[in-house]
Amino acid sequence: MTLDISRRYAAATAGRPDRPGLVVAVLGFCGVVVALMQTLIVPLVPILPQILGTSAANASWAVTATLLAGAVVTPIAGRLGDMYGKRLILVASLVSLTAGSLVCAVSSTLAPVVAGRVLQGAAMGAIALGISIMRDELPPDRVGSAIAIMSATMGIGGAVGIPVAATIAEKADWHALFWASAGLGVTALVAVLLVVPESPVTTPARFDHLGALGMAVGLLALLLPITKGGDWGWTSPATIGSLAGSVVVFGVWGRYQLRRSAPLVDLRVSARPQVLFTNLASISVGFAMFGMSLVPTQILMAPAEGGHGPGLSMIGAGLVLAPSGLVMFAFSPISAAISARYGARTTLAVGAAVLGSGYLVLLAMRTHVWQILLATMIIGAGIGLAFAAMPALVMGAVPVSETAAANGLNSLMRAVGTSSSAAVIGVVLAHLTVDLGDRTIPSSTGFTVAISLTIAAAAVTMLFTLFIPRHPPRPDRTPTSSGE
């Protein structure tokens, strides 16, 4: 088996592209475009019920659907990429994104918009696929920095997407957001077809349809109550029943996966300490990262009356947050350099420490715009360091034949973290409030509790890094670009 993998890896490296920088640029652009889909609709949230002619609870499905679809499809897309070709599945992901954007662009009612957002969310696997393509196609000396850039695209797209989307939404009809995203999808699709080669590294096998169905059901049962618990009630039968159902489904699914010769997720590989604790750290990093999309924005937009906040518009708040995306990008090569010298385990720990430090600054100073700007830039640096380290740790512990599936599972863990963050911090900010005239806004205590939760998440990440082996055994004799 090891010899077979080595031969396929050698075949792949023999056909590496002559312009690796162009491949990295195209895949990075794809990552930013896909990440934009998560924040694309944020500026529309306050007016979604009005423009879609529905209730606020129903309108929230336009946001929730994308998160759920991304979580379910990403690990499946990774497995399909390993089996049938990573470039092929990347192209399919971009086609889904473009189709979903077009559906939303021509719709004005809830059902088609939610359907379009599901198709957009189904493209989230593109980031994990891009990382895997880089491992297969790039020269060894370029892999570390390229993966760091690709990993940072999720944060970059999120940070830059809010001000861009807010500007388009305020200055033009809201449908223009989706026409623009369709244009970006087509551009990314054409660029991939022209520049990115298909990797010969594949693992022919029969796709585990029952395993994919079981994982999808289990994830929906887990993530639905997390994202909708505020609407359903955290102690309601629907919430508790759904969470209990997820435990049962995943228990049965896990036993089934262990008995399969070609499972959707190789749980034995996933149980290796380097993979297991990296994935657990990904949940806490995702929790802390998404806090930046929720807390600083609301602080910046809090009314200036009574000293609650600067009272910025959505565009103004987005512009303050935008530099954090540039910092994430700038720290990506720094992350690769730290990993090359000290190991990706150290990089992840440093990233978590920097991330927590940024939230400590926000906890202590959040009265003036410059203070929030400083805090979010430090947070962005931490995210850039941590996000780049996690794929390197995972790929250093899995065979080349399972790269995309392993990256997809790691991306799923981040999605669980972001969904949990949205639910928990949302509850905190919704319940710890003050009345200001006819408005109810989060109180200073609410912001303090929310920020403290993100600091705790960063601390938990540092704790998990202690359990990641310093010198893990190689998954096979195939050369890899692991940072450890």
Q: How does pLDDT run across 133-142, given as a tens digit for each residue?
A: 888 888 887 8
* Topology, domain 2-208+260-465: Growth Hormone; Chain: A; (1.20.1250)
CA distance 431 to 484: 43
CA distance 383 to 327: 9
Nearest to 178 by CA among 122, 90, 106: 106
Contact between 5 and 478 under an 8 Å Cβ cutoff? The reply is yes
At residue 475, does pLDDT exceed 70? no
Question: What's the pLDDT score for residue 483?
Answer: 40
Question: What's the pLDDT score for residue 316?
Answer: 86
Mean pLDDT of 298-308: 79
Domain limits, the chain: 2-208+260-465
In this structure, is the dihedral angle defined by the CA atoms of residues 432, 436, 441 and 443, taken in order, positive or negative?
A: negative
Our CA dihedral for 225, 226, 232, 237, rounded to 10 degrees, sits at 40
Instruction: Give the three-class secondary structure for 288.
Output: helix
How is residue 28 written in tokens?
């990075």
CA distance 148 to 133: 13
Best-predicted range by mean pLDDT (54-63, 341-350, 395-404):
341-350
Nearest to 215 by CA among 75, 352, 313: 75
Q: Give the model's confidence band at 480: pLDDT under 50 very low, under 70 low, under 90 confident, else very high.
A: very low
